[in-house]
Amino acid sequence: MLIRIATRKSALALWQAEHVAAALRQLDVDVELVPLSTRGDEILDRSLQKIGGKGLFIKELESAMQEGTADIAVHSMKDVPAEMPPDFCIAAMLERANHADALVCRNYDSFDELPRGALIGSSSLRRQAQLRMLRPDLVIEPLRGNVNTRLAKLEAGDYDAIILAAAGLERLGLQQHISQQFSTDEMLPAAAQGVIGIECLSDRDDLRAVLHKLEHPGTARTTIAERTIALVLQANCQSPVATYATLDGERLTVTALVALPDGSRFLRDSLEGPAAESENTGQQLAARLLEHGAAELLEQAAATDV
């Protein structure tokens, strides 16, 4: 059996595709990579919110599967919209890597050392909101591009610090750049941050049977809980929404945050439930957030010009 993997051309995307390829080869599957360029990679002078969201990183990969030039696509699950397009499914989720957000500084060793008015690079409204909740004095400016591009901009002095996903830095062997990892009390991650997912056409039962062997059950449960919250809230990958679920035996605890990008208002809540009912627990927590005004916060956030 030959499985062709559609992937973006960035170093991190290629690492993730190779990681999945290695796991498939362990199952005696032949693998071929199909690197593609996406609109999200090509348009770097505007925010994702203005050009259509992180789904722009995925559409070309899905087209390749529909056209028959690729069989599967490998994604960072935090970039995958909570509502899957018709005819597609996430066939497997690999064991979660580091979920944390990382601070990368030029001349400072920690977040507390940053001076008043320090310039931080981040285009994520989720990160912007939580940074401002911690330090309203900081100046936050957009930052686009792949990991190495962002690190180069920091090194060039464009920013005092930038925020990146720790998992991405670790996967690329760049963990030495991490000045500090934020705790979940300081900064909740994006839904499924640190999780690699494998997408294919829903009717490819042959592929789904093979890919299911790569699924990590615990990661699947926490990811379902987190992504269900985003789905119920009708949040997209750019919304200032954060969720993080953990397992303790047969119990699952999920925490979620909805905020305004300026950090002036936010809702944060947690809920525990049976691990086997992760989707239900996510639905219940999202419902509680909506009862307390989450929809209004998201409506205000959507009107923010970023």
**Together in a domain, 89 and 121:** no
Tell me: pLDDT of 19 over 50.
Answer: yes
As a whole-number percent, the residues of the chain with pLDDT over 90 amount to 89
Contact predicate 16/94, CB 8 Å? no
Identity of the residue numbered 42: E
**Together in a domain, 59 and 169:** no
Is residue 190 included in any domain, yes or no? no
**Together in a domain, 204 and 68:** yes
3-state secondary structure of 11: helix
Average pLDDT over residues 132-146: 95
Is residue 88 included in any domain, yes or no? yes
Tell me: pLDDT of 20 over 70.
Answer: yes
Lowest model confidence (mean pLDDT) among 37-51, 55-69, 163-177: 37-51
For the stretch 102-126, pLDDT in tens is 999 999 999 999 999 999 999 999 9
**Together in a domain, 166 and 83:** no
**Together in a domain, 293 and 278:** yes
For the stretch 203-221, pLDDT in tens is 999 999 999 999 999 999 9
List the CATH number of the domain containing 173. Answer: 3.40.190.10
For the stretch 217-251, pLDDT in tens is 999 999 999 999 999 999 987 899 999 999 999 99
Tell me: pLDDT of 271 over 80.
Answer: yes
As a whole-number percent, the residues of the chain with pLDDT over 70 amount to 94
Residue with tokens 């992937």: 7
Residues in Cβ contact with 217 at an 8 Å cutoff, skipping those fewer than 6 apart = none
pLDDT at 238: 83
Structure tokens at 38: 């996406």
Is residue 109 included in any domain, yes or no? yes
**Together in a domain, 109 and 86:** no
Tell me: pLDDT of 57 over 90.
Answer: no
**Together in a domain, 171 and 200:** no
Is residue 139 included in any domain, yes or no? yes
Question: For the chain, how many structural domains are there in total?
Answer: 3
Is residue 140 included in any domain, yes or no? yes
Q: Could you tell me if residue 192 is left (phi over 0), alpha (psi between -120 and 50 degrees) or otherwise beta?
A: left
Is residue 189 included in any domain, yes or no? no
Is residue 187 included in any domain, yes or no? no
Tell me: pLDDT of 41 over 60.
Answer: no
Provide the pairing of β-strand 88-93 with 196-201.
antiparallel
**Together in a domain, 147 and 30:** no
Is the pTM for the entire model greater than 0.95? no
Q: How many CA atoms lie within 13 A of 246 on its CB side?
A: 8
Q: Find the domain containing 109 and state its range.
A: 101-181
3-state secondary structure of 119: strand
Which of these, 54, 45, 59, lies nearest to 77 by C-alpha position?
54
Secondary structure percentages of the chain, helix, strand, coil, to 5 = 40, 25, 35
Is residue 200 included in any domain, yes or no? yes
In degrees and rounded to multiples of 5, residue 127 shows phi and psi of -70, -40
79 catalytic per annotation: yes
For the stretch 281-302, pLDDT in tens is 999 999 999 999 999 999 999 8
List the CATH number of the domain containing 262. Answer: 3.30.160.40
**Together in a domain, 76 and 132:** no
pLDDT at 51: 46
**Together in a domain, 88 and 201:** yes
Average pLDDT over residues 32-45: 71
Confidence tier at 47 by pLDDT (50, 70, 90): very low
In degrees and rounded to multiples of 5, residue 239 shows phi and psi of -65, 150
**Together in a domain, 31 and 65:** yes
pLDDT at 249: 96
> Which residue of the set 79, 101, 203, 248 is catalytic?
79
> Mean pLDDT, the chain, as a whole number?
93
**Together in a domain, 42 and 166:** no
Structure tokens at 233: 């809230």
